[in-house]
Amino acid sequence: MATTQNCALIVGVTGMAGLSIAQALRSPTVQRGPWLIYGAARRPKPTWFPSSAVDHYITFDAVNFDETHTTLSPLSSQITHVFWAAIHVGRTEDDNIKVNSAMLSNVLKVLTGHTQPNKVRHVTLQTGTSQYIDLVYFMGFADSAQHKPPFHEDMGRLPYPHFYHVLEDMVKSYGSDLTYSIHRPSIIIGASTRSVYNFLLTLAVYAEICKYQNAPFKYPGNKYTWEHFCDMTDARVLGEQHVWSATNEKAKNQVFNCTNGDVFSWRKMWGVLCEEFGVEFVPLDEGGGLFDLVESMKDKGEVWDKIVEEKGLVKTKMEEITCFVAFQYVTRFNFQMVNSMNKSKEFGFFGYADSFKTVRFWIGKLRDMKIIP
């Protein structure tokens, strides 16, 4: 049995956020340390995952209650904090709601059903700043005056189903038995082959294929996003915010945006990406129509296989590590994707990062991990 006062269960530990949460818990400056850390994922530990990040790596399918119960019930007398960084992205929002709510419900039921009073005290729930937009600008559901950027935590929910709402309501339903904090990152930038929306790895794969085929590295978005502002979230800042909220009484039962605290234009960021990937900068073609990245990449899986083989990289499949549809979607907004960090700062969290340095740092990490050349 563990004698450590605080015991963390990180669900989704192999994703960009999950790994950064584990590393934040290892920080010598973290409050209430040291921590005993269980890292959970659906699949076995990937070769690039640092063994020192967690004390115990466990696997189970959280959708399956029996499997979840078998794995977690022996740990229910130890785990004090749940860090939720898992996500399922299905074909429909009904599917998203069904699967994501089942996963969280199963984990919490097991951990709160075996010890009285509950050993687990706090849940950090990761959702996203897409809660403020999603279909709002495309289907006209929301009051445009209410949902103009910069987006802030007090904005009301958009009037259509979203799995984020269901997960939030679930953690809130435990009342005084369990405190929570909800974290809404923007575009997460980190290093993992197991994250659904990994824009940096998507761009890296795209750039390497362009370089391999001597093709231009074109921007797939519109003139608006090329010139106007956007924000992003360094996975390290996100991990720090999760841990801060779990160890700070003032942050309990609160919702926080999480971004780097600065903004960038894709025009400027495209130049940084070109420098890092060694491809020529191609200005936006304002008169030629939008470049369809999704269509361009749909048959490039074999090209990526060749790059992986020739460069001796970690074995990956292009379809599993990229999100061309999501990236193209974000680069075609007609509004500035900017989220306020004022509430976080008012509550005492001052984590920040330079977004251009963020991109350079994580490209270096992806190379160190042999995921990209």
Q: Where do the domains of the chain lie?
A: 6-189+234-261+339-354, 199-230+264-338+363-368
pLDDT (average), residues 139-148: 53
Pairwise pLDDT comparison (334 vs 21), residue with the higher score: 21
Residue (of 346, 345, 331) closest to 294 by Cα position: 331
The answer to whether 328 and 353 are in contact (CB under 8 A) is no
Residue 2: predicted pLDDT: 42
Contacts of 79 (CB under 8 A, 6+ apart): 7, 8, 9, 38, 72, 111, 119, 120
pLDDT (average), residues 37-52: 97
Residue 133: predicted pLDDT: 84
Residue 140 clears pLDDT 80, i.e. is over it: no
Pairwise pLDDT comparison (144 vs 233), residue with the higher score: 233
Strands (E), 1-127: 6-11, 35-41, 56-59, 81-84, 122-126
Residue pLDDT, tens place only, 277-308: 999 999 998 887 899 999 999 999 999 999 99
Residue 139: predicted pLDDT: 44
Question: Which residue among the candidates 38, 132, 164, 180 is catalytic per the annotation?
Answer: 164
pTM score, two decimals?
0.95
Strands (E), 235-360: 254-258, 264-265
Cα–Cα dist 7/54, whole Å: 11
Q: How confident is the model at residue 32 (pLDDT cuts 50, 70, 90)?
A: low
Cα–Cα dist 143/58, whole Å: 44
Residue 288: predicted pLDDT: 77
Residue 291: predicted pLDDT: 97
Residue (of 203, 197, 189) closest to 231 by Cα position: 189
Q: 56 - beta bridge partners?
A: 38
Joined tokens for residue 324: 């061309």
Joined tokens for residue 217: 């590295």
Q: Tell me, yes or no, if 164 is annotated catalytic.
A: yes
Residue pLDDT, tens place only, 213-249: 999 999 999 999 999 999 999 999 999 999 999 999 9
User: Was domain 6-189+234-261+339-354 assigned CATH 3.40.50.720?
Assistant: yes
